[in-house]
Amino acid sequence: MIHPYAVAGFLLAILPLIAAPGASLTLLVGQVTTGGRRRAAPVILGTVTGLYVHATLAMAGLSALVMHSSQAFTTVKLAGAAYLIGLGIWTWRSTTPTRARRQRSGSPYVQALLSNVLNPKAASIYLTLVPQFVAPESPLTGQILTLATAHALLMVVWLLTWAFLIHRAAHVLRRPWFRQAIAKAASVVLVILGLRTAATLG
């Protein structure tokens, strides 16, 4: 069983990544703006389904890795630290104004699911952050499932909050300075997390 402090630390670590404007929020803005708050439900369900897809892959991969080599598990954590630092630097350098993507047709649920499954940021959470908060000497399946559920609940709360605020905040969300500020804050947190992970293994 995973320690509650580990769950709390995991949620604090992923909060800046959730807060940074991404595919799920972009899709939510488009759906709620055009169809009302009820259109938020399929976007949220698709996003949560995608999180559990990542968690399932992590449960299979990390469990097999730990069973074969604890040194390999440490290597994954070091690679994750390097990835976080690199992702943070890339995020900082890429904070330039971009045009809003044109809303695609089709099922909002499928769009949200594919956006999450194919999102490198979502994948990086389960490839780099999850190993920092699980105990390799204990069964990983329950630990990862607990973290994924906590992640899903936090994402649901975040997206529901925005669904209620979008009608008033849509003009702010589209402003380049807002997106840049959030992205730069997330990039700093990514670098700090990467350095912290590297330091604990040094």
pLDDT given at position 134: 86
Q: Which domain holds residue 48?
A: 4-201
pTM over 0.75? The answer is no
Task: With beta carbons less than 8 A apart as the criterion, state whether 23 and 16 touch.
Answer: no
Q: Rounded to an integer, what distance in angstroms lies between the CA atom of residue 82 and that of residue 88?
A: 10
Closest to 31 (Cα-Cα) out of 145, 135, 130, 167? 167
Q: What is the DSSP letter of 101?
A: P
Mean predicted confidence (pLDDT) in 51-64: 80
Q: Does the pLDDT at position 158 exceed 70?
A: yes
What's the total number of domains in the chain? 1
Residue that is written with structure tokens 């009608």 in the block: 167
Residue that is written with structure tokens 């439900």 in the block: 41
pLDDT given at position 104: 46
Place 152 in a pLDDT band, splitting at 50, 70 and 90: very high
Task: With beta carbons less than 8 A apart as the criterion, state whether 147 and 130 touch.
Answer: yes
Using alpha carbons, list the distances in angstroms from residue 174 to 45, 70, 92, 98, 105.
24, 46, 19, 10, 21
Q: Rounded to an integer, what distance in angstroms lies between the CA atom of residue 19 and that of residue 24?
A: 11
